[in-house]
Structure 1
Amino acid sequence: MQWRGRRGSRNIDDRRSMGARGAGGVGIVGMLVVLAFGYFFGVDISPIVSELDQRPAATGQPLSERDQVYGEFVSVILADTEEVWASVLLEQANVAYRDPTLVLFRGQVQSACGGASAAMGPFYCPNDHKVYLDTDFFDLMQQKMQAGGDAAFAYVIAHEVGHHVQNLVGTLGQVNALRSRSSQADSNALSVLIELQADCYAGIWARQAHERFDLLEAGDLQEAMDAAHAVGDDVIQSGAGRTPMPDSFTHGSAQQRQHWLMRGYNSGQMAQCDTFGAAGL
């Protein structure tokens, strides 16, 4: 990806040098509570990794050169999402875009949706319009999920910003309200549809960013597709030694995630990201 030397976003809240905050983190029980209420729509990687949640707090630890590069990368990608969605959302949904803040953290973090652990992966909190990301997740993607590369990392950011778009147009609030009144199976199914739509919106961003900034290089689209495959519920469950159980999926299968990512990329249209209509809802 051609991101170096380009404009970054001012909407970055970098808390990584503060270390893990809060006594003892959220723990397994807190994590399950958060997931049960459906506040966070990130990638739950806890079935396959616990290292991120077990790291000791590092108060005042300076950022490494790698940390700084990640910070610059995230800032540029976020700036690109701001520019793309400012026009796309107004043109296609007649909604004014409001820039989210992206919080970089390490270990644990507190948000307006409660406490969260890095082992839950990146997430979006609709209550404060912020995306939360532990940049060590990028290393995890590359080392344990076979989904490395700038385009794979950008897909993760674009997916979470997709949830922000859903929040602005009202979809996220409506679905959360419906999930709170639904059975577990129905709630999971609705979660899958919201996640796949965010994948589709990530595809729209990738197309628009490439057209506007000549962002993508050879192989980048495949990197993004590899990342979408790696975070499929079936792949994560299989990687944890479990038999994939579709009724328990909350994000969608690898094939579904790749399909909707490419649907957004190929169409460039929010109207083509109606996962709910495609499911007969």
Structure 2
Amino acid sequence: MRLDDFDPNSVNIGDQRGSGFSLGGTGGRVGCGSIVIALIAALVFGVDPGQMLGGAQDSGAGQVQTQGGTNATESCSVDAVSRESCNALSSLNKTWAPLFEAAKIPFTPPRLVFYSQMGRSGCGTAQSAMGPFYCPQDQSIYLDTDFYRELEQRLGAGGDFARNYVIAHEYGHHIQKLLGVADQVQSAQQSNPSQANPLQVAMELQADCYAGVWAGRNKDRIDQGDLEEGLNAAHSIGDDVLTKGQVAEASFTHGSAAQRMEWLRRGISTADEDQCDTFAAFKR
């Protein structure tokens, strides 16, 4: 995907790389298999970051952390993937801000926070095994770019558009926060626990659709093969694919591969955020 270089004055960037932060603790380390499971659980099943790390130990001890920057220009220039992420964030800001302005709804862009292995967020400790996530408490997207290696090598979803889709999906959760959808869903889940999972699925599928809307409004930047990369990524992180069909649909929290592909495709084809009402079934 051909995106313009970011304007350092138009992106809100935080950088915790090289901070040396670790969880500490006296227990044993988390094994590699557990880290992969944790990554999948947090990225795909919507696990609260704080709960995710409640009993975890520092699995990054002894590893050399990537050194971050002290401002947007430095942080976004650490490596090619950092720059790509900042370019995607800049494009997302440019796409969504006018839509909010037209609807006369206040818009505040999210912050993108880079970290390496361990970090801190408004939702608790961040760990690379969790994958990228959005924290509504501080309206920030947290990203350890090493995740993209896992995305390609372990989940079979490589390519720049697949990586951009990940950022755009988390940005979709920010849109939900600004629109009040996130708070409404949380309230509905608390008042009706039996619907907690279906409501979470609707949240995640809407974020997929919003990611598609961004892509659909930037079709002139899309290269041949990009859409296939995005749809492949959506398929690869479907609940049924990740669990190899061993988890009942009632326990899904992000949706099946077919659902994720359907809503991403709908966003791309319509480029219309009004077509992303994944909650229609709850309004009947």
TM-score range, shorter chain: 0.7 to 0.9
In 1, the alpha carbon distance for the partners of 2:186 and 2:221 equals 34
Residues 138, 280 of structure 1: alpha-carbon distance in 2 compared, 3 angstrom cutoff: same
Residue 118 of structure 2 corresponds to 108
- Counterpart residue number, 1:200: 209
CA offset at residue 79 of structure 1?
0.3
CA distance in 1, matches of 2:271, 2:62: 42
1:90 aligned onto 2:101: yes
Name the structure 2 match of 1:62.
67
Q: Deviations over 1:85-134 (max 9, x none)?
A: 0012333x431321110111122222111223222221111111101111
Q: How many residues end up aligned between the 2 structures? A: 260
Q: Aligned residue for 2:267?
A: 264
Q: Report the counterpart of residue 71 of structure 2 in structure 1.
A: none
Q: Provide the rounded CA distance (Å) in 2 between the counterparts of 1:6 and 1:105.
A: 19
Answer yes or no: is the 8 Å Cα contact 2:45–2:252 preserved in 1.
Answer: no
Q: Secondary structure at the match of 1:147?
A: coil
- Counterpart residue number, 1:74: 85
Unaligned runs of 5+ residues in structure 2 are 69-75
2:158 paired residue number: 148
Q: C-alpha distance in 2, partners of 1:5/1:173?
A: 34
Shift of 1:277: 0.7
**How far apart are 1:12 and its partner, in Å?**
1.4
Check conservation: 1:204, 1:270, Cα contact below 8 A: yes
TM-score, with structure 1 as normaliser: 0.82
Q: Does the CA-based 8 Å contact 1:19-1:59 persist in structure 2?
A: no
What letter matches 1:55 in structure 2? G
SS of alignment partner, residue 131 of structure 1:
strand
Of 237, 240, 243, which aligns to 1:231? 237
Equivalent in 252, 262, 278 of residue 275 of structure 1:
278
2:46–2:254 CA contact under 8 A, matched in 1? no
Aligned equivalent of 2:246: 243
- Return the alpha-carbon distance in structure 2 between the equivalents of residues 37 and 72 of structure 1: 27
Contact 2:110 2:141 in 1 (8 A): yes
- Counterpart CA distance in 1 for 2:46 and 2:218 is 33
Q: Which residue of 2 aligns with 1:222?
A: 228
Q: Aligned partners of 1:258 and 1:19: how far apart in 2?
A: 38
Displacement of 1:7 after TM fit? 4.0
Map 1:96-135 → 2, pairs under 5 A: 96-135=106-145
Q: How does 1:171-182 map to 2 (within 5 A)?
A: 171-182=181-192
| 1-structure distance, mates of 2:46, 2:205 | 19
- Does structure 1 retain, via aligned residues, the 8 Å contact 2:6–2:90? no
Q: CA deviation at 1:67?
A: 5.5
Matched with 2:73 is none
Instruction: Determine what percentage of the aligned residue pairs are the same residue.
Output: 39
Q: Cα gap change, 1:121/1:36 in structure 2, threshold over 3 Å: closer, same or farther?
A: closer
State the shift of 1:237 in Å: 0.9
Taking the TM superposition and a 5 Å limit, the aligned residue runs for 1:23-62 are: 23-24=24-25, 39=48, 54-56=59-61, 58=63, 61-62=66-67
SS in 1 for 2:106: coil
> When the two structures are superposed, what TM-score results if normalisation uses the length of structure 2?
0.81
Q: Report what 2:19 is aligned to.
A: 18
Amino acid at match of 1:158: A
**Equivalent residue for 1:162, pick from 167, 172, 195:** 172
Distance 1:230 1:125, change over 3 A: same
Please give the per-residue CA displacement for 1:166-212, whole angstroms capped at 9, x wherever unaligned. 000100011012112332x42111100000000000000011123xx
- Greater shift, 17-26 or 269-278, is seen at 17-26
SS of corresponding position for 1:54: coil
